Chain A
Amino acid sequence: MTLRDGWEMVVGLEVHTELKTYTKMFCGCANAFGAAPNTLVCPVCLGLPGSLPVLNVRAVELAMAIGTALQSTISPSTFHRKNYFYPDMPKDFQISQYDLPINVGGYLDLPDGSRVAIERAHLEEDTGKSTHLGGGGRIHGADRSLVDYNRSGVPLVEIVSGPDIRSSAQARTYAAELRGILIATGASDGRMEEGSVRIDANVSVRRSGEPLGTRCEIKNLNSLRSLVRAIDFEAARQVELLEGGGTVRQETRHWDENLGSTSTMRVKEEADDYRYFREPDLVDLVPDQAWQDRVRDGLQPMPAERRAVLTQRLGDRAPALRDALEVVIDLGLDPYVIAALDAEVDADLAFARAANEIASDLVHVDNLSVESYVATLRMEQSGDLSATQAKTVLVEILANGGEPVSIAQSKGFERLASGALGEVVAKLIEENPDEWSRYRDGNEKLAQFFIGQVMKLTKGQANGKEVIAALQARR
């Protein structure tokens, strides 16, 4: 979407990512999603009186890895308390980094050639999760509020961009590229739908060439689609307001996915004074050079580098495969694709099964080895498995593990004996004379009818291309 003539949007993003540590930021409780409420808690993450925080070294390393990937300067840092009252925050303050964050400055180059500045990427702890019953799901007017503290104390890194983004499409590209980096560093699983990555967008508009306008912050966007829609809505709202002679009020706004609109959450004038001060229960965090070097040396290649490798590999075919390539890079699936290409699997196939079948079950990606992926695709390419069968095999391995040849056998996926396909096709032509004559007269759509019937009779064992060849032979 573009704004009305003469207007420009200015966007900065705050991306919060939960770190993929085994334990929480300040205690030994498991950092895991989906457990029964309030089962992953202890005196520390419940903020019980007398408990004290102890910093998780792994969380610090992952934060340093993110900073290194974003070209930040890793700096001596401190922890502060951000004080405000909220029921899902057990201590009624959040331990966060304030004026001295661990990662200072940096930038992210996007595939579209633009560069977005990184202001900082700092460590902080997550809060619990509130569920408000009644009153429209908001805390005010709720009949009851339930709190699950399993998330309380989960380590977060907040990555703050500069106000360098000029369109919702660029915001999307930035968020997707950043997500790829978070996955590549091992810091995050990148799952927005589970809330492991959440985005706040600061949006303002201005007439081209004028100083920055007043911004509004849209909280808690949890998909790339929401991000794009919310920014577009908000920028258009501000333009309309200004063109109508109004002014934009600095405020925090809530995005309603169903209504497709933003609404006021709280006005900045009445915002809390967080009374930040040094967290006296923690000591300063000063990573030495040796530690920084170890983190840098341990980094895997970042998306930009991997994208370049794959693009070069594809040569002329790269433009046609661009969308699948982006999915594969974003999700870190390129080792599968490259191994398949190495084994002379056709590029279309190598990308398609990764961008579809693997991408649909990313949670279980560890069940599928690169070798099994290549073997399955080789079986498909040689005709030992039909496309349908190959997809079924991949879905099965992702869901339950296993090895492709034995899964194909156990499901009875044997190649149709030569001659068997001919018999099936002949039988179908005999039983469906009308369809056959229309096909013979040049109605190519009816090929799909015959393929469907063949698949039904052979329980998916036939290969679609071979069916067409058999039909053509009898035309």
Chain B
Amino acid sequence: MKSVRQTALDVQNGDASALSVLEESLARIRARNDELNVFLYVDEEGARAAASALDERVARGENVGALAGVPVALKDNLCQTNIPTTCSSKILEGWRPPYSATVVDRLLLAGAVPVGKTNLDEFAMGSSTENSAFGPTKNPLDTTRVPGGSSGGSAAAVAADMTPLALGSDTGGSIRQPAALCGLIGVKPTYGLVSRYGLIAFASSLDQIGPLTKTVTDAAMALEVIAGHDPLDSTSLPEPSPSLVAHVEDGVAGKRVGVVRDLIDGADEDVVAAVERAVEVLKEAGATIVELSVPEFRLGLSAYYLIAPAEASSNLARFDGVRYGLRVNADDVTAMMEATRTAGFGEEVKRRIMLGTYALSAGYYDAYYGQALKVRTLTIDAFRRAYHEADLLLGATTPSVAFEFGSKTADPMAMYLSDVFTIPSNLSGEPAISIPFGTGEAGLPIGVQLLGPGRSEAQLFAGARVLEIADGRP
């Protein structure tokens, strides 16, 4: 598939019809979806109707939007009116939301064509997409390996060239980690930059929606469309969408880049080597390199695995069989709720609901949830100090390249460690981007991560673009 930018240009100029672009996307999905298990649902009919309507508008000479004719894959925790939305859970199988997420409305308004819903770890809880109730997604670059998670389906859709753009959600790294493992750009925006209305919550104070693409410019274009204040989300930032695409080529000259040991140490050698090469590239591009140690980042993982499950235990309470989704009948209402939840949730979801319920319980709150909130504050303060010394931070996205199926499923802690470098940004609510930079073991892509203070996305894209060019993608 052509890039987001080229596709939109072609459709806007009448050089390609939105329908022909869509048919190419659908053909690619048909060709590989059985093998890779990327899409849980493909809305061929709706997508064709949207593409045809767009082509008619082009023919009438109307302005059709920044993402005209761009096929987009939606992670299946984003609501789209009347399209099955499952969160890869049996508990929601068959549910069709009566409304669309704000991001979906904004994509449609910009002329994008949603083609379907992609696989994820159930309720976005996982780092490999192996926790999906509908089977794992395979990494298109090596089908013996995971695509990462939880936005594994969205990453695979772009990596397999089924769509040039996918949306994911990132609670502890769920966009950036699969982007790294599939060789893509993945953006976790500033908390509140993108409306969460219509994103089925995992952990409300950490969740953010963001794009996965093959190029930095494509990601900036998509983020410009979905960002900006939304009155339906009380945590939405008040400002309109920032200007991003215009700053992609700004470079890093004069910027201070903090290289954070705590976001590198512990990673595989090939990953460490890639980060070190990235440091050299940024230096050559005119950045000042600052070595930083931020030990608080190492506490993030433990805090995250209390805060996120605590919020999830409450967010997922509503799946009780009363109003929608699965219902397993039993003698009375309480028994029905128990039977429904027992049958409807997978093991990892149950594990986190139990963890979170425990962390919030009377007598344990202070020692677990309360303590985790304090660590979160420490993390925020640590970032603030780091940004006194640097404009951007650099580290690895993941400790390793894509791993093999089953290699971490037996040990939840090993799986949780996949998120160790991505979690701090979620705790602080600040933006981060993963950029493919070189390859490692078995020729698989490595992701490096740029982090910045709140609303510094333009600066992150500029830094990412420098690395993208140096990695041979001018």
Instruction: Please tell me if the beta carbons of B323 and A90 are within 8 angstroms of each other in the complex.
Output: yes
From 115 to 169 in chain A, residues with beta carbon under 8 angstroms from any chain B beta carbon are 139-142, 145, 147
Interface stretch, picked from B38-46, B126-134, B199-207, B257-265, is B199-207
What 4 A-B pairs are tightest by C-beta distance, nearest first?
A92-B317, A275-B360, A280-B205, A280-B204
Across-interface contacts of A90 in B (CB, < 8 A): 318, 323
* A50/B314 contact (C-beta < 8 A), A87-B322, A90-B323, A139-B333 known: no
Across-interface contacts of A142 in B (CB, < 8 A): 332-333
Q: Report which of A47, A49, A273 forms a contact with B97, defined as CB distance below 8 A.
A: A49
Interface stretch, picked from A5-13, A52-60, A312-320, A455-463, is A52-60
Q: Report which of A48, A54, A85, A92 forms a contact with B232, defined as CB distance below 8 A.
A: A54
Instruction: Please tell me if the beta carbons of A85 and B320 are within 8 angstroms of each other in the complex.
Output: yes
With CB as the reference atom, state the residue of chain A lying closest to B78: A50
Q: Does B92 contact A (CB under 8 A)?
A: yes
Instruction: Please tell me if the beta carbons of B197 and A275 are within 8 angstroms of each other in the complex.
Output: no
Instruction: Please tell me if the beta carbons of B200 and A50 are within 8 angstroms of each other in the complex.
Output: yes
Q: Report which of B203, B323, B361 forms a contact with A273, defined as CB distance below 8 A.
A: B361
Q: Report which of B77, B310, B332 forms a contact with A277, defined as CB distance below 8 A.
A: B310
Across-interface contacts of B197 in A (CB, < 8 A): 50-52
Binding site for B on A (CB under 8 A): 43, 46-55, 81, 83, 85, 87, 90-93, 139-142, 145, 147, 273, 275-277, 280-283
Cα A276 to Cα B310 with chains together (Å): 11
Q: Does B19 contact A (CB under 8 A)?
A: no
With CB as the reference atom, state the residue of chain B lying closest to A92: B317
The smallest C-beta distance from A283 to any residue of chain B, in angstroms, reads: 6
Pull 10 A–B residue pairs with CB atoms less than 8 Å apart, ordered by A. A47-B323, A48-B99, A49-B87, A49-B200, A50-B97, A51-B197, A54-B234, A83-B313, A91-B317, A282-B234
Across-interface contacts of B310 in A (CB, < 8 A): 277
Cα A83 to Cα B97 with chains together (Å): 24
* A93/B314 contact (C-beta < 8 A), A49-B200, A53-B234, A139-B332 known: yes
Max chain B C-beta neighbours (<10 A), residue from A46, A147, A280: A280
Q: Report which of B101, B203, B357, B361 forms a contact with A50, defined as CB distance below 8 A.
A: B101
Across-interface contacts of B79 in A (CB, < 8 A): 49-50
Across-interface contacts of B235 in A (CB, < 8 A): 280-283
Q: Does B403 contact A (CB under 8 A)?
A: no
Q: Contact string, B290-330, partner A, CB cutoff 8 A, digits 1/0?
A: 00000000000000000000110110011110111000000
* A54/B231 contact (C-beta < 8 A), A85-B320, A277-B369 known: yes
Across-interface contacts of A280 in B (CB, < 8 A): 203-205, 235, 311
The smallest C-beta distance from B187 to any residue of chain A, in angstroms, reads: 21
Q: Does B198 contact A (CB under 8 A)?
A: yes
- The secondary-structure label for the interface of chain A is loop
Instruction: Please tell me if the beta carbons of A87 and B320 are within 8 angstroms of each other in the complex.
Output: yes
Max chain A C-beta neighbours (<10 A), residue from B79, B314, B360: B314
Instruction: Please tell me if the beta carbons of B98 and A83 are within 8 angstroms of each other in the complex.
Output: no
Max chain A C-beta neighbours (<10 A), residue from B203, B233, B313, B332: B332
The smallest C-beta distance from A431 to any residue of chain B, in angstroms, reads: 70
Instruction: Please tell me if the beta carbons of A52 and B101 are within 8 angstroms of each other in the complex.
Output: no
Across-interface contacts of B234 in A (CB, < 8 A): 52-55, 281-283
Cα A438 to Cα B61 with chains together (Å): 102
Supply 16 further A-B pairs (C-beta < 8 A) apart from A51-B198, A52-B233, A141-B332: A43-B98, A43-B99, A47-B318, A49-B87, A49-B95, A50-B77, A50-B201, A51-B197, A52-B232, A90-B323, A91-B318, A142-B332, A275-B361, A277-B310, A280-B203, A282-B234
The smallest C-beta distance from B205 to any residue of chain A, in angstroms, reads: 4
Q: Does B85 contact A (CB under 8 A)?
A: yes
Across-interface contacts of B311 in A (CB, < 8 A): 277, 280
The smallest C-beta distance from B354 to any residue of chain A, in angstroms, reads: 13
Cα A282 to Cα B301 with chains together (Å): 25
The smallest C-beta distance from A306 to any residue of chain B, in angstroms, reads: 39
Cα A356 to Cα B280 with chains together (Å): 89
With CB as the reference atom, state the residue of chain A lying closest to B319: A49
Instruction: Please tell me if the beta carbons of A273 and B198 are within 8 angstroms of each other in the complex.
Output: no
The smallest C-beta distance from B52 to any residue of chain A, in angstroms, reads: 28
Q: Does B367 contact A (CB under 8 A)?
A: no
Instruction: Please tell me if the beta carbons of A46 and B323 are within 8 angstroms of each other in the complex.
Output: yes
Cα A471 to Cα B396 with chains together (Å): 108
Across-interface contacts of B199 in A (CB, < 8 A): 50
With CB as the reference atom, state the residue of chain B lying closest to A27: B232
From 188 to 227 in chain B, residues with beta carbon under 8 angstroms from any chain A beta carbon are 196-201, 203-205
Instruction: Please tell me if the beta carbons of B317 and A83 are within 8 angstroms of each other in the complex.
Output: yes
Q: Report which of A49, A54, A277 forms a contact with B318, defined as CB distance below 8 A.
A: A49
The smallest C-beta distance from B310 to any residue of chain A, in angstroms, reads: 7
Max chain B C-beta neighbours (<10 A), residue from A43, A81, A275: A275
Cα A277 to Cα B196 with chains together (Å): 20
Cα A141 to Cα B233 with chains together (Å): 40
Across-interface contacts of A93 in B (CB, < 8 A): 314, 317
Cα A53 to Cα B231 with chains together (Å): 10
Instruction: Please tell me if the beta carbons of B361 and A92 are within 8 angstroms of each other in the complex.
Output: no
Q: Contact string, B85-121, partner A, CB cutoff 8 A, digits 1/0?
A: 1010000100101110100000000000000000000
Cα A275 to Cα B362 with chains together (Å): 7
Instruction: Please tell me if the beta carbons of A49 and B92 are within 8 angstroms of each other in the complex.
Output: yes
The smallest C-beta distance from B404 to any residue of chain A, in angstroms, reads: 33
Across-interface contacts of B313 in A (CB, < 8 A): 83, 275
Across-interface contacts of A277 in B (CB, < 8 A): 310-311, 314, 360, 365, 369
Across-interface contacts of B232 in A (CB, < 8 A): 52, 54
Cα A273 to Cα B196 with chains together (Å): 29
Cα A91 to Cα B316 with chains together (Å): 8
